[in-house]
């Protein structure tokens, strides 16, 4: 299998382009400080984690043993109930969210999904796939769900089991809905049947190491949690994890004889490479390394917020967030740094690889090109 000279040149040009584009982005929550040379040889094999990671399978070219290690690590980190958790490595946060909503629908077919205005754009599509009834709740200014609006909306539908889709780090401002507050409201209304899913795409990798610890995991009342693997942890291929209470999952599992396994996952064929990526990160960094990574990002975010304010830019961030929000920048600045911009606001996300030098340079660019001149 060889390429022609021109095809090879095209790949080479693409490689250089990718390298350049990767250098300069500050606006998206994706880490790029990874190194997986140890895993390159595995690209020679058709690894496929077909079926349920926790049951036996006829197919053996898989990394399900590593996948189980990864899920076990997260179960502990997310304080899952002992011997009552299950999960798998997904293709990303969206699949984990789809899984959580699917499980909720099977358990509470008549339920209504409540989620805030600031919820990720993929959720509307997931709800459409599943045909679930849903109601959008107002957000507060900082992006967190408006608890009063949630309470009033629930009050009007006390005969219908609520399914709460909570945001642990919204896309634009990294706001976190507080599961303790949400649970208090559900208790107040005496809902006996309820389900809470935590969409912790970005923050699920950070929150366990933060003080104060955000209320977002199983011990705080979540029934399922989805986290992206390529965001805070970093991966060359999108991936993620989803965890749920095993007693709930068992109620919907179906056995499939063709693969000699259970059909518990959303897709049939599943990535066998990305569990190795997550396993490598967990093993090489350990809990201390991950905690240090979180602290480093928080320090950079604090630096960015302070420096911007000194420069007269009205920057702000949510408590414990690595996302710094400021008024929309000029088009050229947005393009240069690939800054996500919506509703008159832009942001930088201080992923572990973001440096203070880059923040300084960004501020210089912002001052040199005010929005009025865009």
Ligand X SMILES: *Cc1c(COP(=O)(O)O)cnc(C)c1O
The DSSP call for residue 234 is -
Report in angstroms the alpha-carbon separations of 250 from 86, 95, 172, 253.
9, 19, 36, 5
Options 55, 57, 117, 122; binder of ligand X; rule CB under 6 A: 122
String of contacts with ligand X for each residue 219-238, x by CB under 6 A: ---------x---------x
The reply to whether 171 sits near ligand X by the rule CB under 6 A is yes
Options 75, 202, 206, 294; binder of ligand X; rule CB under 6 A: 202
The least CB distance from residue 143 to ligand X, in Å, is 10
d(CA 214, CA 198): 12
The reply to whether 214 sits near ligand X by the rule CB under 6 A is no
Options 208, 214, 240, 272; binder of ligand X; rule CB under 6 A: 240
Which residues, including other chains, have CB under 8 Å from residue 309's CB and lie 6 or more apart? 315
Residue 115 or 366 having the CB closest to ligand X: 115
The reply to whether 201 sits near ligand X by the rule CB under 6 A is yes
The least CB distance from residue 29 to ligand X, in Å, is 6
The least CB distance from residue 239 to ligand X, in Å, is 8
The reply to whether 113 sits near ligand X by the rule CB under 6 A is no
Question: What string of DSSP letters covers 183-222?
Answer: HHHHHHTT-SS-EEEEE-TTGGGTGGG-SSPPS-SGGGT-
The reply to whether 199 sits near ligand X by the rule CB under 6 A is yes
The reply to whether 143 sits near ligand X by the rule CB under 6 A is no
The reply to whether 63 sits near ligand X by the rule CB under 6 A is no
Residue 163 or 330 having the CB closest to ligand X: 163
Residue 87 or 330 having the CB closest to ligand X: 87
In the structure encoding, which two tokens stand for residue 224, read together? 């399922």
64: left (phi over 0), alpha (psi -120 to 50) or beta: alpha
Q: For residues 177 and 220, is the Cβ–Cβ distance under 8 A?
A: no
Residue nearest to ligand X (CB): 93
d(CA 265, CA 55): 12
Considering only residues 246 through 275, tell me which ones interact with ligand X, judged by CB under 6 A.
none
The least CB distance from residue 326 to ligand X, in Å, is 19
Options 169, 208, 272, 275; binder of ligand X; rule CB under 6 A: 169
CB-based burial, 216-243: b 16+ in 10 Å, e otherwise: bbbebbbbbbbbbbbbbbbbeebbbbbb
Report in angstroms the alpha-carbon separations of 178 from 143, 147, 193, 222.
12, 9, 19, 11
Which residues here bind ligand X, judged by CB under 6 A? Answer: 92-94, 120, 122, 167, 169-171, 199, 201-202, 228, 238, 240
């Amino acid at each position: 299998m060889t390429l022609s000279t021109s095809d090879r040149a095209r790949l080479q040009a693409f490689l250089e382009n990718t390298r350049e584009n990767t250098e300069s982005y500050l606006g998206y929550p994706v880490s790029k400080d990874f190194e997986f040379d140890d895993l390159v040889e595995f690209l020679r094999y058709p690894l496929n984690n077909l079926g349920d990671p926790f049951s036996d399978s006829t197919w053996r070219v898989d990394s399900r043993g590593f996948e189980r290690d990864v899920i076990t690590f997260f179960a502990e980190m997310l304080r899952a109930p002992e011997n009552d958790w299950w999960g798998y490595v997904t293709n990303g946060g969206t699949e984990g969210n789809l899984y959580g909503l699917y499980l909720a629908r099977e358990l509470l077919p008549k339920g209504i999904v409540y989620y805030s205005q600031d919820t990720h754009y993929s959720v509307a599509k997931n709800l459409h796939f599943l045909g679930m009834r849903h109601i959008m709740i107002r957000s507060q200014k900082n992006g967190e769900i408006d608890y009063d609006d949630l309470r009033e909306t629930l009050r009007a539908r006390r005969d219908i089991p609520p399914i709460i889709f909570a945001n642990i780090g919204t896309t634009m401002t990294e706001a976190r809905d507080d599961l303790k507050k949400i649970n208090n409201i559900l208790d107040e209304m005496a809902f006996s049947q309820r389900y809470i899913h935590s969409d912790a795409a970005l923050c699920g990798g950070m929150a366990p190491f933060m003080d104060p610890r955000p209320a977002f995991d199983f011990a705080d009342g979540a029934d399922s949690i989805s986290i992206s693997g390529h965001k805070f942890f970093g991966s060359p291929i999108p991936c993620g994890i989803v965890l749920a209470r095993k007693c709930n999952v068992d109620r919907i599992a179906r056995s499939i004889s063709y693969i000699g396994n259970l059909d518990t996952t959303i897709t049939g064929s599943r990535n066998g490479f990305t569990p190795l990526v997550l396993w490598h990160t967990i093993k090489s960094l350990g809990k201390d390394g991950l905690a240090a990574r979180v602290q480093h990002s928080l320090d950079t975010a604090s630096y960015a917020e302070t420096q911007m304010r000194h420069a007269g830019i009205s920057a702000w961030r949510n408590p414990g967030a690595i996302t710094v929000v400021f008024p929309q920048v000029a088009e050229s600045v947005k393009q240069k740094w690939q800054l996500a911009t919506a509703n008159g606001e832009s942001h930088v996300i201080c992923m572990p690889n973001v440096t203070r030098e880059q923040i300084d340079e960004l501020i210089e660019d912002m001052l040199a090109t005010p929005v009025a001149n865009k």
